[in-house]
Chain A
């Protein structure tokens, strides 16, 4: 079966992408899974500099998912380019750099620095990073703020730009629309849902921060709605993310309009999840008489 898909300025060999934050910089997963078999890899979020992230405890399991407050620990753009990018050279897959910033300027520094490297195929602007000056709020909560960052990146690079959106906003559609208008080639959604875990005995948070991000199958129905809402009202490519653990999950996201999907938390419980999900989706499509993924994208028929 022809598994290729076109999404956000890229042609991927298949619609299964490893999501940022659950695949490290790719090389950590390579003992388990041949990176050349996935459609793409979004590397762990990169700032212009190295970051320590949040203190422990950083994770807490929830029903069918988990909360995390890693706090975007990372090696920074320079060490990534020197130490990791060369090791990704030999894999035949799209490399997408997840760019972060505590301030708007920092996103642009990451794009500016890493666009020089041929092995970087596209950027995913993580518009869900807590912003220092804005008391931890993130750009993707507001259309105008998202617009400014995407616009800035667009003026720097010709490589495809995706904007990764937070569901923690009442303006999701407006934000997606602003990203498109600013020149984004795709929006990827959703990032984690803000949530919390409380320890009754100590009367404190289970984690080192008050709020943390919820991911995993627990959020799948919420993510599906978010993807449907954006895909059906904004003329922009959507990359679906949120609790996908099976091939059928993947096809549901594509039906409501996603042109590709990202696999996140599933990798944590099954390092080879992305490949299994792809195989399951392909065999389901075949069983139902489809010839490729394009035949189901956006073909949801409602109630």
Chain B
């Protein structure tokens, strides 16, 4: 048994180790070390908790059994999960943090004495507010992440679900939660506590269903942030510094990522939350236009010829590449090009993929060295000096309309200037529009050659033709 003061110091140490874990991610070189700092912080926090309770009865055996069960499940998932499924995994993990926060809050409400929060029916006011906020945010995180998970997994349609009065309903429920917490503090009634949690579950669902598939990177980041705030709320209840520090770190991390994602799509955070983006809009009238415009299309042979005669090639990968599992074939193609002394780099738009940084992970998995992969602002000027842009699985992020047509829904969004390349190879199954539901002007440019095929098949064919 260690004293509360000593325990608090150890919790501070683990909080600092968590800060170092995030700090390590500033470069891939230091990131692995950072991860070990994080693991060390976690071990310290758990061991100190055991020591400070000092209860080594049979309960402890069960705690360890449950810990091992959970750990085994987690390890199994972590080892088995394919990298393309990372967004779902993260959404799923967020839901677990949320639910764990709810359960800890419930446990504290039912047995406040163990947490030094007073007695049943007479819980300290501040603690009651903290635990109900923690529980409410946790519940929203849980149900919201479940919906995000279902949408990303494709079990639920990615199309936004919108009904009239949706926002007013959310507002009323949101205010309702605060009113209920106020009455909870007055009456200490457990029924009100349960009601707060149930309404919060409902709010989580209602918040995420109107958000379309294109906005998923923002949603995941936002839920990341929520899970942090939930943890911080519980941290205040438990008077635990490690939890407060971590909650604040995770909360601000998620908020920054949401901001970056919104900026990359030129969308305001509010408009993402209100949802409805990506619903199909008057497709008929676009189809007619499409028929009139000529499109140049080619085959793998043409593409191979173009690239063989180029001196520099920029690859623009998007989520379609991941869906087609074309990253390994792509790597093979790049290796062949490099053998011919062609300079190859990769250009990544911040919202390529379904979550922040997703494309970088997929390329890393295909053994693409990270120093050949560039972010939008670092590479955008290079397109004008390059011979070939190879767009594979990306669409909206290359659409020049974002720069020229103020009426376009994506106007103002930062895009990759692929059209400035001498020639553009665009691998795509058809001329169908991307997530944003708009036609890509790039298809009809003179310097664009469309390669209509599955991304993986096309890349493999190009590889054959490069010999």
Question: Do A and B actually bind?
Answer: no
Chain B positions near chain A (C-beta within 8 angstroms) = none
Chain A residues within CB distance 8 Å of chain B: none
